[in-house]
Structures are given as structure tokens and as C-alpha cells.
Amino acid sequence: MLSAGAQRGSRSTPTSMERIDPARRPGAMDGLAHIFLHVGLCGSVARLPESTAVPVHVVMAYAHGDPPYDKKLTIPRGDGTEWVIEFDVPRAEYHVTVDVPKYKCASSSFAQVFADQNRKIDVTLSEAPPPELPVLLLDGTAPTSFLYLKPTYVLFETGLKCDDPVTTQLPTHIDVDYDQGAYYMTMFASPQPPPLAPVFAIRLRTPTGLAHYVRLPIKLPSLVGGWPSNIQFNISEDMIDGLATDKTGVLLCPKIWGTSAG
């Protein structure tokens, strides 16, 4: 494993829900995040002898300015299916690129990083990386109990109202990563974009196998190319506990989540 440090910058602390400006810099009072970058190997690298030294270029870049992590490394091929590269960076939104030019493999993705957290980021090298789809980043702090509810983010048609039985979910491509104390969601643009102003909700499983559907007080921005929109929405233990006696199978709009049934 590899390790490297980084310089601190300037950034303010977000509220419970805040649209993040990628041009803002991490704050001098913020701590650093420790990154575990898991790099899945492409075929041309995976076929190399285990002792082969592979040149790799890793960059964690801001929207503007010098990247806090920009390293050219030499990594032994090894006997696994991935590399794990460790380093520290300040809190910010990043464009993460990994390039293996000698073997024509690369990856490109976006990630949000919080201060004083361990952050696992998964990427996969490809000989022919697909076009980078527009994405939306949604992330925030959350208690450990949040993970036990198997949270899933879903979209519904615009007409669904509070207390209505949930309808068929709209097709979406959403990836979610969970680390201790935080979650990180990436929504990818779909070939069939959702209707204007869809209902954005989170599905939380109950111990009996049923589900609570909670409307999120977030208006989804249009997914366009370039640097993604980023929204932070923090989830507390009280928000989760408050669902214990609520109905399942309907769209919930609890005030503690910033929504209202009117």
C-alpha cells in the first residue's frame, strides 16, 4: 500500500442540506480524509507477471486550481485483482483519474470526501473507457443504524403525493457507497431521462421486510456534462427513529426530514 499527505485549504461547514460549490476549498480547520483507492485491474494489466512494475498516474483534482494529490507511482502487478492506494486529501469534491498509459488503461469518476473520515473509493481500469456520463452527487453524514435499513434511492412520477401508496419506480442508475458515519450517492444520467420534477425518495427496509418510503426535500438538477452538481443531506438518528410507527408502502413526508404532509 502507498501513502502520501496533502496540504489544507479553506472551506466552510455545510448545513444539514446544502448544495456544494465545487470551487470552494477545504477549510484550514478541517481535518484530512484518509483515502483507500481500490483500483480494479484491466485485462492487459491483469495478464502481466506478478513481479511486473507498472507505472500508474493517480490524480484527485478540484474543479479549479492545483490538485492536492497528483502522483506518478510504480506499483508491482501482484497476485490480486486490484490495487489499494492510500493517501490523505482535504475535504472537497474531486475528479478522480487513474491512468496506466503503458498498457492503455484508465478510469475517470467523481467523488465527494468529508474531513476526518476514512473514504473508500472504487474505480475500475478499462482499455476502452466508456464516455463519462453526467452525474449528480448526493452525500452526507448518517448513523450506523442507517445502513441496517438497506437504504435505496428511488424516483417516482411527479404526481405522487404525501401519504399516497407508492407507484412503480422510475428506472434509474444509482450507485451508493457507505463508510462509517457517511454515505455517498452517485446518480448517472439515463438514456431515458426522468420527467421534470420527479419525486425523489429513499426506501428503508423494516425488520419485517416491508419498506418506508421517505420523500427527500431535494429538487433534482438537470444532469448535464462537466463538473457535477453536489448536494449534501445529513441524516440523524432521530430522523430514523421517527419512522418506527409510520406507515409502510406509502410516501412519507415527515417534518423532521424537512418535508411536510401539509
**What is the pTM assigned to this prediction?**
0.79
Half-sphere exposure (CA, 13 Å, Cβ side) for 169? 15
**CATH code for the structural domain at 17-124:** 2.60.40.1120
**Is residue 23 predicted with pLDDT exceeding 80?**
no
Query: Residue 195: its pLDDT value, please?
Result: 65
Residue 191 backbone zone (phi > 0: left; psi -120 to 50: alpha; other: beta): alpha
Query: Residue 103: its pLDDT value, please?
Result: 95
Q: Can you read off the three cell numbers belonging to residue 174?
A: 444509482
Q: What is the DSSP letter of 124?
A: E
**Is residue 28 predicted with pLDDT exceeding 60?**
no
For the chain, give the number of residues: 262
Percent of the chain with pLDDT strictly greater than 70? 84
Q: Can you read off the three cell numbers belonging to residue 44?
A: 492487459
Residues contacting residue 142 through CB under 8 Å, at least 6 positions apart: 178, 181, 182, 183, 234, 235
CB 119 within 8 A of CB 141: no
Query: pLDDT for 97-143, tens place per residue?
Result: 999 999 999 999 999 999 888 999 999 999 987 777 788 899 999 99
Mean pLDDT (the chain, rounded): 84
- Give the three-state DSSP class for 27: coil
Query: Residue 14: its pLDDT value, please?
Result: 32
**Is residue 13 predicted with pLDDT exceeding 50?**
no
Give the distance from CA 18 to its chain's centroid.
15
Average pLDDT, integer, range 10-21:
37
Query: Residue 172: its pLDDT value, please?
Result: 86
Residue 200 backbone zone (phi > 0: left; psi -120 to 50: alpha; other: beta): beta
Query: Residue 73: its pLDDT value, please?
Result: 97
Please report, for the chain, how many H helices and E strands are present, in that order: 3, 16
Highest mean pLDDT pick, 10-24, 35-49, 222-236: 35-49
Query: Residue 193: its pLDDT value, please?
Result: 63
Of residues 8, 126, 4, the one with CA closest to residue 62: 8
Query: Residue 128: its pLDDT value, please?
Result: 83
Listed by start position, the domains of the chain span 17-124, 135-257
Query: pLDDT for 52-66, tens place per residue?
Result: 999 999 999 998 889
**Is residue 160 predicted with pLDDT exceeding 70?**
yes
**Residue 3 CB-density burial (10 A; 0-12 exposed, 13-18 middle, 19+ buried):** exposed
